[in-house]
Amino acid sequence: MLIGDMKTIEIKGDLDNEIAGIAYDSRKTNAGDIFIAVKGEQFDGHDFIADAVRKGAAAVVYEKPVTRHASRVTGIRVEDSRKSLAYISNNFYGRPSEKLSVIGVTGTNGKTTTTYILKSILDVWGKDVGLIGTINYLIKDRQYVAPHTTPESLEFQALLNEMILSGCSHVVTEVSSHALAQKRVDYTNFSTAIFTNLTRDHLDFHITMEDYFKAKKRLFSELLLRDGIAVINGDDAWGRRLIEGIHTDVLTYGIEVKTDLTAVNIKDSFDGLTLDIKFKDRMYNIKSPFIGMHNVYNILSAAGAAVSLDVPWDVITEGIKRMASVKGRFEKVDLGQDFLCIVDYAHTEDALERLIYTARELIKSSEVSNTPSLTLPPRGGGQGWGGVSKLRTRSSSPRIITVFGCGGNRDRGKRPKMGAIATSLSDYVVITSDNPRNEDPLQIIKEIEEGVSRKNYIVEPDREKAISEAVKIAGTGDILLVAGKGHEDYQEIKGIRYEFSDRKILEEAIRNKL
C-alpha cells in the first residue's frame, strides 16, 4: 500500500482505490492520480485541491484542514505533506534506493566536481553509474536537463527507478540544503555521505548558518544507513562539528590536520595537480588535470568515498587521472590567445576567494616576465570602461582580471563581502550583472560596491559588454576570471530566462580580439 504506516491525522474515504500516478502540481494531475498538496515558496498546493479533483484525482493528501472535496475522492490529512510526498513516491517506485549504492554529496562548494570525479572512478571500476546534480542528470551515458540540483522527491525516486531499469548499480548525487530542508531525499538509503565544507550561502532561505548546518546534517544523522560511511572534510570547522554528532563510521580527509586521508607533496601548476594521498601509512600518487587547492579537497573527498565502497587504489588513481574537466568549474577557454581565460561557477564569497587565490598561486608558480600591462583610469560616473584608449600601459607582472556579479532575490549579505574579496585579491575587477531575477541590477551592484576595499574596479551592468571589455584589456600572461554563472546557459531578468553563456560570450570576445 502506498501510504503504508505513514503518519496520518485523519482518513476520509476508501483506501482500496487503485492509484495510477502521483502529482503535487494540479496542472500535471491525471485521472486516477493521488494529489499531494505541498506548500512551496510561491504557491500552496492546498489552494489547488479543487482543480486536482476536477482533473480526476482519486485521492488527496493534505496537511491543512480541508472542508470541501468531492465525496468520491479519498482525503488523507497528514502532519507533513512534503514528508508524505517522499514516502509515497518511494513506495510507488518500489523503494529503488534499496537496490542501489547511493552516494550523497553535500556542502557549499565542491559538490559538482566531487560527483564527477567519483563517477569517473566508478566508471573505471566497471560499474554502470547514474549521476544527479547541478549541471545535468546522467543515466550511464544518457544526459537529461537538470532543473534543480536535487529534484523534488517524486522526480528523484523516478530517476532512481529509471537508473535501476537501465542497469545502474551505483548513483552519485548532489544533495542540496534546500533538498534536505524540504525532505526531497527522505526515505532514500544512502550508503555513503560526503561533506565538503560549509560557508555562507542560501541564507535568504535558511536565515542563519546554524539552520543551514542543521539542514546539511540531516543527510548524516537521519538518512545515512547505520552501516554506511560518512566522508567528512576534517579541515572544515563545520565538518569537525559534524563528526561529533553522528553515529556511523567516519572517514576524514584534509591537508591541514591529521585525517584518515591526507594530501601531501602537493604541486599545483597550469598543467594540473600532482600529490600523494596518505592512507593507513601508505602513499598513493595522484595526477589530475584539475588546477587549484580547492580541487585537492574535491579529489580527497571522491577518493574517500571510493575507499568506503572498497574500490582498489589503482582504480581510484586512474579514475582521478581520467577526469579532465567539469563544465563551468575552473573551465579553460583557449582559442590561442596569450592570456588564460577561466569560466567558473563561483557565486559565494568563499568560492570567489578560492578562485582568485588559485589564479594568484598559478601566477606565482609560473615564470614572471616583464610584459606590457594596463592601468585603469579613475572611475568616472561608475559606468563602463570609458574606452580602452583611456587605459595607459606600464610594465608589470601578469595580472588577475575578475568579472563577477551577484544574483538577485538571494542572500544580500554576501554582496559586500564578495565586493571586498574581488577588489582586494584581484588587480582589476569588473562588477556586472549575474542573474538579477526580479531585482534592479544597479541596486545589486550598489550593494556589492559597499564592500569594495579599493578603487581598482569599474561597473558595467551589461554582462556581455563587461566580458568583452575585460578581454580587450587582457595582456600577455594575464588571467581573466569570469565568475558566477559557470555552466548556466541563461540569464534570468524579471522572471524571464534569456539565452546567455559566459563561455560563448568569452569565445566571441576572444575571436574579435585575435
Q: List the grid coordinates of 369.
A: 616576465
As a whole number of angstroms, the distance between CA 142 and CA 136 comes to 10
pLDDT for res 69: 59
Give the span between the Cα atoms of 51 and 55, in whole angstroms.
6
Q: Quote the pLDDT of residue 4.
A: 65
CATH superfamily ID and name for 8-92? MurE/MurF, N-terminal domain (3.40.1390.10)
Q: Give the containing element (helix H, strand E) for 418.
A: helix 414-425
In DSSP terms, 431 is beta-bridged to: 404, 459
Mean pLDDT along residues 2-23: 82
- Mean pLDDT value of segment 272-284: 96
pLDDT value of position 204: 63
- Give the closest residue to 457 by CA, choosing from 431, 494, 480, 433: 431
Please name which of 87, 92, 49 lies closest in space to residue 67, comparing C-alpha atoms. 49
Q: What does the pLDDT look like over 199-220, one tens digit per residue?
A: 866 666 657 888 989 999 999 9
- Going by pLDDT thresholds of 50, 70 and 90, the confidence category of residue 371 is very low
**pLDDT value at 373 more than 90:** no
pLDDT at res. 395: 39
Architecture of domain 331-513: Alpha-Beta Complex (3.90)
Taking the alpha carbons at both ends of the chain, their separation in whole angstroms is 65
Report the C-alpha gap between 352 and 349 in whole angstroms: 5
* pLDDT at residue 71, as a whole number: 58
Burial 336-371 (b: 16+ CB within 10 A, else e): ebebbbbbbbbbbbbbbbbbbbbbeebbeeeeeeeb
pLDDT over 60 (residue 368): no
Indicate whether 118 pLDDT > 90: yes
Domain limits, the chain? 8-92, 96-322, 331-513
Beta-carbon contacts of residue 6 (< 8 Å; ≥ 6 apart):
78, 84, 87, 88
Q: Give the mean pLDDT of the chain.
A: 89
pLDDT in tens, 281-313: 999 999 999 988 899 999 999 999 999 999 999
| Amino acid 64: pLDDT | 87
What's the average model confidence in pLDDT over 120-137?
Answer: 95
CATH H superfamily, domain 96-322: Mur-like, catalytic domain (3.40.1190.10)
Q: What is the mean pLDDT of residues 371-400?
A: 41
